[in-house]
């Protein structure tokens, strides 16, 4: 039997095992940006290990992620990350049922390292390979955090490349309710952090600095977009940059904490209002959050308050599951495997840097 035939048989066995309530172990691999991560997840929701090798210190020197440097570092550490992950999970490769890997969106060279490593493992061990959409992985982090969570729910997706409000219809499908018309919120955080002198990584630095400031600067006025579920960040970003230039030209002191706090309020408030309004309009009483910006403390706090006021249940992943990690990829891979989706029987999957949600 060739790889395809063996794996087709294995997938059927796995699905049967899951029906009988037997344990399924999925190994997840994530390398779409500057984190090399490998995780082992039991039954799609229980994290046995979630090893993450971050390259933050390396890229800080350059003020942002350098794609070529990221790929090279993934190559250097991916074997060690696998070993550590299996060791922490107290499992050997023989006990793994399937491999899940991020194939997009992300940096082309970085994705290539994870995808090829996954293909090698899958082929050498005759294991099913599930190709995972990184953003769908972010959404699935919520299933790990909240073991009782089931679709439908409304999910606010906020990462470095995405800003969207979705209705998660079931484990495989979602409906787009609203999205950014230009920049992603994470991009805006990173850009504002850079121009205000906080540096890289922008999001966490703004988050920290904002705590010492006040919301006393008003960068954008309410717009027609407020009635829709769409958002825009390029106007806010430009307004902050213009404000900083004006202050510099007139030799006035800039209060970085106030800039951070005011930007954060204006970036976050509109998303919270729209997410809560969407849940009400779509008659859904569960709200979830996903992506790196969901780690933002002001967003977590404001969304909690507003959901409570509106009588909505709110769930969001722990910090380590918000930013890039392989546990969420394994969780999303498990859902696909059990439902027979995205299984790459011919091992021909290739990285898709601009993969859509």
Q: Which residues contact ligand KG4 by CB under 6 A?
A: 33, 134, 138, 159-161, 186, 189-190, 201-204, 207, 291-293, 295-296, 323-324
243 binds, options ligand KG4, Zn ion, none, Cβ within 5 to 8 A by partner type: none
Minimum CB distance to Zn ion smaller for 133 or for 159: 159
Q: What minimum distance in Å lies between the beta carbon of 3 and ligand KG4? A: 31
Q: What minimum distance in Å lies between the beta carbon of 139 and ligand KG4? A: 11
203 binds, options Zn ion, ligand KG4, none, Cβ within 5 to 8 A by partner type: ligand KG4
How much is the CA Rg of the chain, to the nearest whole Å? 21
128 binds, options ligand KG4, Zn ion, none, Cβ within 5 to 8 A by partner type: none
Query: Taking a C-beta distance cutoff of 8 angstroms, is the pair 32, 104 a contact?
Result: yes
74 binds, options Zn ion, ligand KG4, none, Cβ within 5 to 8 A by partner type: none
Minimum CB distance to ligand KG4 smaller for 33 or for 78: 33
Q: What minimum distance in Å lies between the beta carbon of 128 and Zn ion? A: 24
Residue spans of alpha helices (H) in 93-211: 108-125, 134-145, 185-195, 202-210
Minimum CB distance to Zn ion smaller for 97 or for 324: 324
Residues that bind Zn ion (CB under 5 A): 159, 324
Minimum CB distance to ligand KG4 smaller for 127 or for 289: 289
199 CB neighbour count, 10 Å cutoff: 13
240 burial level (CB within 10 Å; 0-12, 13-18, 19+): buried
Q: At what angle do helices 326-338 and 134-145 cross, to 10 degrees?
A: 90
C-alpha separations of 152 from 145, 171, 281, 282, 294 in Å: 16, 9, 14, 10, 19
351 binds, options ligand KG4, Zn ion, none, Cβ within 5 to 8 A by partner type: none
Query: Taking a C-beta distance cutoff of 8 angstroms, is the pair 330, 40 a contact?
Result: yes
Q: What minimum distance in Å lies between the beta carbon of 204 and ligand KG4? A: 4
Minimum CB distance to ligand KG4 smaller for 52 or for 96: 52
296 binds, options Zn ion, ligand KG4, none, Cβ within 5 to 8 A by partner type: ligand KG4
202 binds, options Zn ion, ligand KG4, none, Cβ within 5 to 8 A by partner type: ligand KG4
Could you please report the per-residue DSSP string of 266-291? Answer: HHHHHHHHHHHHHHHHTT--EEEEES
Question: Within 13 Å of residue 12, how many CA atoms lie on the same side as its CB?
Answer: 5
Which helix (H) or strand (E) segment holds residue 13: the answer is helix 3-19
Minimum CB distance to ligand KG4 smaller for 50 or for 323: 323
Q: What minimum distance in Å lies between the beta carbon of 138 and Zn ion? A: 6
Minimum CB distance to ligand KG4 smaller for 114 or for 203: 203
Query: For 128, which DSSP code?
Result: -
109 binds, options ligand KG4, Zn ion, none, Cβ within 5 to 8 A by partner type: none
Q: How far apart are the first and last CA of the chain?
A: 35
Q: What minimum distance in Å lies between the beta carbon of 159 and ligand KG4? A: 3
Q: If we measure between CA atoms, which residue out of 316, 294, 320 comes closest to residue 37?
A: 320
Q: What minimum distance in Å lies between the beta carbon of 261 and Zn ion? A: 25
Q: What minimum distance in Å lies between the beta carbon of 314 and Zn ion? A: 21
Q: If we measure between CA atoms, which residue out of 309, 313, 329 comes closest to residue 321?
A: 329
């Amino acid at each position: 039997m060739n790889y395809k035939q063996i794996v087709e048989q294995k997938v059927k066995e796995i699905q049967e095992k899951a029906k009988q309530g037997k344990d399924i172990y999925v190994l997840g691999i994530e390398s779409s940006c500057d984190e090399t991560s490998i995780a082992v997840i039991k039954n799609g929701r229980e994290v046995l290990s979630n090893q993450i090798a971050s390259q933050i210190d390396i890229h800080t020197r350059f003020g942002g992620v350098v794609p070529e440097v990221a790929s090279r570092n993934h190559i250097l550490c991916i074997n060690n990350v696998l070993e550590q992950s299996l060791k922490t999970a107290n499992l050997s490769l023989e006990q793994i049922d399937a491999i899940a890997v991020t194939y997009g969106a992300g940096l082309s060279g970085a994705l290539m390292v994870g995808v090829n490593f996954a293909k090698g493992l899958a082929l050498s061990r005759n294991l099913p390979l599930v190709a995972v959409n990184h953003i769908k992985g972010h959404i699935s982090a919520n299933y790990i955090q909240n073991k009782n969570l089931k679709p439908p729910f409304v999910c606010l997706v906020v990462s470095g490349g995405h800003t969207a409000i979705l209705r998660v219809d079931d484990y495989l499908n979602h409906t787009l309710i609203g999205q950014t018309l230009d920049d992603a919120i994470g991009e805006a955080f990173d850009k504002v952090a850079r121009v205000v002198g906080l540096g890289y990584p922008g999001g966490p630095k703004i988050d920290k600095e904002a705590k010492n400031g006040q919301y006393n600067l008003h960068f954008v006025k309410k717009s027609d977009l407020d009635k829709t579920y769409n958002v825009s960040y390029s106007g806010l970003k430009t307004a902050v940059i213009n404000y900083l230039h004006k202050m510099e030209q007139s030799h006035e002191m800039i209060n970085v904490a106030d800039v951070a706090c005011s930007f954060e309020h204006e970036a976050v408030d509109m998303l919270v209002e729209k997410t809560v309004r969407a849940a009400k309009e779509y008659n859904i009483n569960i709200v979830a959050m996903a992506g790196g910006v969901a780690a933002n403390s002001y967003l977590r706090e404001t969304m909690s308050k507003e959901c409570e006021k509106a009588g909505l249940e709110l769930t969001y992943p722990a910090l380590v599951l918000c930013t890039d990690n392989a546990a969420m990829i394994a969780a999303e891979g498990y859902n696909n495997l059990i439902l027979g989706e995205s299984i790459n029987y011919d091992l021909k999957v290739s990285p898709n840097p601009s993969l859509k949600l």
